[in-house]
Amino acid sequence: MTPQELKNSILQLAIQGKLVEQRPAEGTAAELFKQIQAEKQSLIKAGKLKKEKPLPPITDDEKPFEIPESWMWVRLGDHLIIERGGSPRPIQEYLTTDPTGINWIKIGDTDKGGKYINQTKEKIKPEGLKKSRMVHKGDFLLSNSMSFGRPYILNINGAIHDGWLVLRPIINFFDKDYLYHLLSSPMVFSQFSNRVAGAVVNNLNSDKVALTVVPLPPLAEQKRIVAKIEELLPLIDRYGAAWSRLEDFNKRFPNDMQKSILQMAIQGKLVEQRPEEGTAEDLYKQIQSEKQSLIKAGKLKKEKPLPPITDDEKPFDIPDSWKWCYVGEIFDHNTGKAMNSSAKASNKKGAVRKFITTSNLYWNSFDFSSVKEMFFSDDELERCTATKNDILMCEGGAYYGRTAIWNFDYDICFQNHIHRLRPYSKISEQFFYYIFFLYRNIGLMSSKGTAMPGLSSITLHNLIIPLPPLAEQKRIVAKIEELLPLCERLKEE
């Protein structure tokens, strides 16, 4: 049950006479009603109240639930003077900054979930009252458009526009706070909802509010109901705070669980280490051997050796059978062709080819709904083409580091804001995808640039990542892919 549902439930119990006991010594609502009608007739005879057409009797169909025998069903119009505000127009001509101006009460002067209106942002000139309506501290205001049916109690004097109704008890036989809770109850709001009219904006009018059927308890019982509600409200607030924390936890839990799984994975804590699978040092030597073969064959330029990785640079502990490496030691990487490059050169062979941009590259997926074309010369193809199992990563912008594996059986060209990472030797590309995904989400993937952050080739080259034995990489990926669907199912629930 949500906090609002709990509050509604308490209000419902209150207006059904189930929140406090009935006491015969407090009289009945019928006796109270007779007093109200007597006072009303006295005011009419004294000329202080206009005589109005009697409201229709309340039918059994209009009574939504049973109430105690000492209570009575009444219409709001039997007990309240209900009047609509008015707006002097054009309102700009009546607004004033003079401190002696009259408070101009607007919907924007209310607080969400608030009970009182304590101040206004604007004032109007006194002559605006001719086309508006004056209201006073202690009056009830009921919004009759937009968020219709929401009650407020005035703590100030002022003037209201035609988006408000003012409700004044004919005499004080409604406890002010009981009336507020009554008007706030789902039962009353549902009647307002059934009576609103308006082609574009739903509106209440005074006649429809006057017809609203409500339960009337004896006055002393009204006060006891209010005391009980106000005793319970702080408990509801505490429940609401706990509910919000729980809701926040539930919303974050699937992502937090996903992050925890990946953190355990890249720290060597998701699956056990098996000595028969060898060590990362063995794999690293194999990768370096393959890299040297490519250099000797002229397919790769010889690079300046990277410095040893210090203990201070290692972001977390890994198993003894693992090894810390630089991305540049495991992957050959480069960016593609700039989109504003020169068009087809007369002295170069090539063709117009489809290519992907950062707008096509998402986490672990691609969007091909809009694929561009550009001329690529033949000597650009090797550097600017992704083949199956290449890792592609966004280089710049808000989504730098966003990564996916090209798992298609055809090749694709790519632009200069995408890094292509191609391993020197056999590895699990999916394992390293998960490393990059986690690094980006926990702040371990450095970026440079203020207005437009980016992941330069040098920064990527020097990024420090863990390397497990190949067989363990595969077992880690299998375990991750067993567990991550559970996180996705939690997001859907």
Claim to verify: residue 37 and residue 131 sit in the same structural domain = no
Sign (positive or negative) of CA dihedral 270, 271, 275, 280? negative
Residue 346 confidence (pLDDT): 56
Q: In this predicted structure, what is the pLDDT of residue 451?
A: 54
453 and 305 housed in the same domain: yes
Residues 372 and 295 in one domain: yes
- 296 with 403, same domain: the answer is yes
Q: Tell me which of 119, 145, 169 is where a domain ends.
A: 169
Tell me if the pTM is above 0.85.
Answer: no
Cα gap 405→70, rounded to integer Å: 75
> Are 156 and 22 part of one and the same domain?
no
The CA radius of gyration of the chain, in Å to the nearest whole number, is 37
| Cα–Cα dist 47/59, whole Å | 31
Domain that holds residue 121: 80-169
Q: How many domains does the chain have?
A: 3
In angstroms, the CA 234 to CA 224 distance is 17
Q: Are residues 29 and 160 in the same domain?
A: no
* 135: CATH: 3.90.220.20
Same domain, 296 and 236: no
* DSSP 8-state class, residue 54: P
pLDDT at position 258: 86
Residue 385 shares a structural domain with residue 325? yes
* 150 and 183 housed in the same domain: no
Same domain membership, residue 460 and residue 343: yes
Output the pLDDT for position 196: 66
Q: Do both 163 and 179 map to the same domain?
A: no
User: Last residue of a domain, which of 151, 169, 187?
Assistant: 169
Q: How far apart are CA 99 and CA 96, in angstroms?
A: 8
Residues 278 and 165 in one domain: no
Blockwise average pLDDT, block size 10, the chain, 493 residues: 88 93 94 87 84 88 93 90 89 91 91 88 92 92 77 94 88 84 88 65 77 93 95 90 82 82 93 95 94 88 89 94 96 89 65 92 94 90 94 89 95 94 95 94 73 80 95 95 82 63
Q: Report the pLDDT value the prediction gives residue 59, as an integer from 0 to 100.
A: 93
State the DSSP string of 278-333.
--HHHHHHHHHHHHHHHHHTTSS---PPPPPPPGGG--S---TT-EEEEHHHHEEE
- φ, ψ for residue 135 (rounded to 5)? -130, 165
Instruction: Mark which of 169, 199, 233 sits at the end of a domain.
Output: 169
Residue 455 buriedness (CB in 10 A; 0-12 / 13-18 / 19+): buried
